[in-house]
Amino acid sequence: MSDIHRIACHEVLNSTEYDQRWIVNDNWTYTADLSPLTHGFSGETSHQSQKALLVFYGLDTVATITVAGHPVAWVNNQFRQYAYDVTDLIANPVHGNTNLTIAFESAYFYGMNVTARPDVEWVPGDVFEYPFIRQWVRKVQSDFGWDWGPAFVPTGIFKPAYLVTLSESEVASTSPVSHPLLVSSNSPIFIEESSLEISKVGQTPIARPNEAADWVVNVTLALRSAVAIKSPFITISIPELKITSPQLSFESLPADTTSPTFVSVNFKIPDSIPDRWFPHNLGTPKLYNITTTIHLSKSSSTSFVTQTGFRTITLVQSPYSQQDIQTRGITPGDQWHFEINGKAFYSSGTNIIPYDPFYARTTSEQVRWVLESAVLSGQNMLRVWGGGTYQPSDEITGGYDFYTACDELGIFAWSELIFSDALYPINGFMLESIEPEVRQNVRRINKHPSNVQWAGGNEIEGIVISTNQTQANGTHYLNEFVALFQDFLHDIVSEETNSVAYTDCSTTSGVLSLDPYIIRFDNKTAGFIYGNSERYNYDATQAFNYSTYPISRFVNEFGFHSQPSFYSWEEVLQSPEDFSFNSTVVMSRDHHPPAGGLAFPNPNAPQGQGQMTSAVEIWLPTPSTSDSNQTFAQWCWSTQIFQSMNMVSEIAFYRRGAGLGENNLGSLVWQLNDIWQGTSWSSIEYSGRWKVLHYGMTGAYSPVVIYPFWTPDNETLEVVVTSDRWETVKGTAQLTWYDWHGKALQTSIHQFTTPTLNNSEIFKATGLSNILPKGQTSENLWLHLNLTADVEGKTITNEQVFTPTSLANAALVDPKIKLQHVKDLTFTLSASGGVGAWTWLDHPAGTVGHFMDTHTNIPSNGFYLVPGNDRTVEFVVNQGLSRVQNPNPASFVVRSLWNNTHI
């Protein structure tokens, strides 16, 4: 009888960084005794009636594999799936050896050895802890260090591995199983790879599909069979739609378990039959279970189920028409935005990095919480950053689930090949390893309707343009970039998918031509807009200077770093003296700017710490109290407030661009998640705790948002309502000036009608004398903005605040906040002394969850608490991730900016 056995191996997991360098330098050998799994090969059953396959879904990274004393393979690519027929090796052990042995080389020394070759090509750049080697190692690039995480350079079996046995005898048909791998437990065939892609008839990745055309369901399988099958065929069914394909024949399968045979079949479904998949904020992420049945004979078949959805996703990069330019006021140039099911939409979201320095520690529950948090904050797109890893589709092969959760939650995934922030030399040896890596991962992810594109890598196009302009031999590097990212990778991806586009880089100048694919680089026309962009500016004086924000069709990265909360620091700090903003240990976890070597602590950390310090001192009251722990906690929290203020400002600016000449249709904040407890750009801490920014994005990514655009140079205030809806939105906005004691000084009501993906200006004035209530000064008051709108039959609200001067100069008063426990984990907050600027409620250590306004059912924290306007919030606990299942209501802590300088 055929079977599948999970091979148990253990990985060394480290929790520190600098005192563990020796682990990186050593080789590590993993050994597992296979005899409990292979007894059928040594007596009870003749090995001729079975085949044994050794299958690895992830080996990190350079290793020699031995089975029963026999050499099997040498591997050097963390991102590939490997399968080997070990039937004869197990049946003929060397001197009774029954072990599987995997001897891992140090990836660091491997890289050092490769770069020491006399024929190696030198490449400029690289500033991380282990510089100048990662380009030659097909491994998670941030394992060698990044500016938000450690450089552990881990090694080991980081994804599931299996011993699969196949029977050479025919088996009866069985019920469908939930995963292609499980087919092998009752079948003579092993499904090494499975690709299911839904597209439109005639669809290609580079042009808008015919939305009325039939759907094409294409299934591609890589099969190894223990028996010869002469007349096989496949049927594909969707029980929910009561659809079954005709018999889809394919060529005979040879009795070959040493290498896979690829087969492809497809059939058509009329456009009108299935419901379409949409992201959660634009519709329903409808999914169907599709059963693929492989018929081996009249009496033998095997089936598996794939969950997927019907949708078209298009990356539009064609030029704007003259009509668009004349009638819509579009700035000339090329489009750069996505369309779902034929409709342009606004991409709102963040970027993700690896969830843990040690992949094997990541769980589906942790990941799903991060994704659910993104949905709760109004995001509809996550960019899978190209310096991390290919995210998995399921626990069986990937250890945890990412893409399936995206499908179910209705959130897009922008996928990238793993190349980042470096020039990658190319040679035949590297390309031979990269090609199957890319093909395997593209085929695997084809089934996911959440996937929107494949980018060749992260931020490399800009590096090669600069190198070409500044290096004497720059043309050489440009030519290599073209060979790898314009030609080689593009062609592979295009051969493996019909439904999503390929772009050479995350941040790109766009294309001169899509067919043939030719990158634009610096071939630009002055005054035209091409491609997409990113923005980083660590000069806090320019944080809200709109002239420093890019005018772009799509901004795929922008961010500012902050500290994690006091609660996160408690997880890693061990001595009382460590609990200080600039303590050695705290600074050791600030990798911005990167160290450029193995020095400890990061010699450049004072720059990153200084940027956060400056930001807080310029825009907020400087934390200083008589309690050192509170001062530290207020510093950490204040860096998060500035981060949120800065990012919300940029989001609002880019969203407003949807109705301006740039027709901006995308903003993705850097970044969503953390890899450890330390300084980073994230909106969610390593434990799953939301930072201030995550609540800020909940407001900034609301379907309809109100925002005050303030230009201090000419003292101009513009209040704008922006909508990302597909229908015209009508509503009411209210602007109320308050003093810091909470007295309402002036209120105005504004009706608005906002067209699809556009703006409505509801107020504009120049000069403080025309903006502020009479007799008031900028230090003594602030403006509360809110709106109510009807969207698809539902009432939505949004609120923002405006202070005409920095909060560092504002005349704050003691808000005298009272926190009243109502019931369960529901609390009412009230202020009796004044306005609680940035009132913040902290949940206790060991809990994971979010605060929700019980009136609006919207996540809410970090608000302005006005006397007489109480707020009631409920803490919604994630029971699966919380160590403390029933937190004590008395352990919830409230703070405001007043506490930066007062106990």
Catalytic residues: 459
Q: In whole angstroms, what is the distance from residue 198 CA to residue 193 CA?
A: 17
Q: In whole angstroms, what is the distance from residue 447 CA to residue 455 CA?
A: 18
Q: Which residues, in sequence order, are CB contacts of 729 under 8 Å at separation 6+?
A: 703, 704, 723, 753, 754, 789, 790, 791
Query: Which helix (H) or strand (E) covers residue 700, if one does?
Result: helix 692-700
Report which of 186, 187, 162 is spatially closest to residue 396, judged by C-alpha positions: 162
For 612, counting Cβ atoms within 10 Å of its Cβ (0-12 exposed, 13-18 middle, 19+ buried), the class is buried
Q: What is the DSSP string of 528-581?
A: -B-S-EEE----GGGTT-GGGS---S-EEEE---BPPPHHHHHTT--SGGG-ST
Q: Which SS3 state, helix, strand or coil, does residue 377 take?
A: coil
Report which of 272, 123, 286 is spatially closest to residue 211, judged by C-alpha positions: 272
Helix axis angle for 628-656 and 692-700, nearest 10°, is: 20
Using CA of residue 549, residue 552, residue 553, residue 558, what is the dihedral sign?
Answer: negative
Contact 738, 784 (CB under 8 A): yes
Q: Which SS3 state, helix, strand or coil, does residue 275 take?
A: coil
SS3 content of the chain, % helix, strand, coil (to 5): 25, 30, 45
Question: Whole-angstrom distance between the N-terminal and C-terminal Cα of the chain?
Answer: 71
Contact 708, 800 (CB under 8 A): yes
Buried b (16+ CB within 10 A) or exposed e, 138-176: bbbbbbbbbbbbbbbbbbbbbbbbbbbbbbeeebebeeb
Structure tokens at 833: 């002394």
Q: In whole angstroms, what is the distance from residue 288 CA to residue 305 CA?
A: 10
Query: Which helix (H) or strand (E) covers residue 637, if one does?
Result: helix 628-656
Using CA of residue 622, residue 627, residue 629, residue 630, what is the dihedral sign?
Answer: negative
User: Position 4: which residue type?
Assistant: I
**How far does Cα 853 stand from its chain's mean position?**
27
Q: Which SS3 state, helix, strand or coil, does residue 483 take?
A: helix
Distances (CA, A) of 97 to 43, 49, 92, 248, 889: 16, 22, 9, 45, 59
Q: In whole angstroms, what is the distance from residue 900 CA to residue 368 CA?
A: 34
Q: Which SS3 state, helix, strand or coil, does residue 509 take?
A: coil
Q: In whole angstroms, what is the distance from residue 666 CA to residue 704 CA?
A: 15
Q: What is the DSSP string of 232-259?
A: -EEEEEEGGGTEE---EE-PPBPSEEEE
Q: In whole angstroms, what is the distance from residue 484 CA to residue 491 CA?
A: 10
Using CA of residue 134, residue 135, residue 136, residue 142, what is the dihedral sign?
Answer: positive
Q: In whole angstroms, what is the distance from residue 303 CA to residue 474 CA?
A: 54
For 19, counting Cβ atoms within 10 Å of its Cβ (0-12 exposed, 13-18 middle, 19+ buried), the class is exposed
Q: What is the DSSP string of 732-789?
A: EEEEEEEETT--EEEEEEEEEEE-TTEEEEEEEEESHHHHSPTT--GGGEEEEEEEEE
